[in-house]
Homo-oligomer: A and B are copies of this chain.
Amino acid sequence: MELLEERIRRDGVVDGQVLKVNSFLNHQMDIGLFNEMGREFYRLFGGERVTKLLTIEASGIGIACIAAQYFRVPVVFAKKNRTSNLSDNLLTTLVPSFTHGTTYQVVVDRAFLSPTDRVLLIDDFLANGAALEGLWQLVRQAGGTVVGAGVAIEKAFQPGGQRLRQAGLRVEALARISAMEGGSIQFVR
């Protein structure tokens, strides 16, 4: 998606293996851009009879909510910690965090994913694929179907995208980065 690639080129900041897109994607959020991303996700997955968008707190929520206006379905966001306000009837899985070197629990109330659901996973970044794998696992636990995953930015030089696609998941990334060396960002062509 040209608009997103241009924005990453203009406002993304490369710091080693980290790409900071805080100014428009995951701290400050450009809602006009999110609208174009949502439209593109709908172009890609609009024929899949999606019943629900599933994302994970916190950075995926804004993207998923704006995209949901095109799909006209609810958004569910998986929570990273079990809080007292959730029911005991939870779908749970463990997700390793490469950034923090730890593992965290991800939970969704069982009431919000069912065997008849056709779920599109949404997230801001795909790198090692651990978060999307965890979401996929939660939908499988519920007996539902994952129709694919829509991510804003894929770091295609990290192994997550390839592993998920080999496992049979349809993954669509709006911008696929092939290299970030010397501060310059290359996209997959």
Contact = CB atoms under 8 A, between A and B. Distances in A.
Interface of A is mostly: mixed
A75 B22 CA distance: 11
Contacts of A133: none
Given A22-B85, A66-B65, A99-B85, A77 B112 contact: no
B23 A112 contact: yes
Interface stretch (A29-37, A145-153, A173-181): A29-37
Counting chain B CB atoms within 10 Å of each CB, which of A20, A74, A87, A111 scores highest?
A74
Interface in A25-67: 27-32, 34-35, 57-58, 61-62, 64-66
A112 B69 CA distance: 26
Interface string A66-101: 101100111111010001111100000000000110
A31 B62 contact: no
B29 A85 contact: no
A77 B24 CA distance: 11
B99 A77 contact: no
Nearest to A73: B31
A22 B86 contact: yes
25 contacts: A18-B84, A22-B85, A22-B86, A22-B87, A22-B109, A22-B112, A23-B112, A27-B86, A28-B74, A28-B112, A29-B74, A29-B75, A29-B76, A30-B74, A57-B57, A57-B58, A58-B61, A58-B79, A62-B62, A62-B64, A66-B69, A83-B99, A83-B100, A84-B99, A85-B99
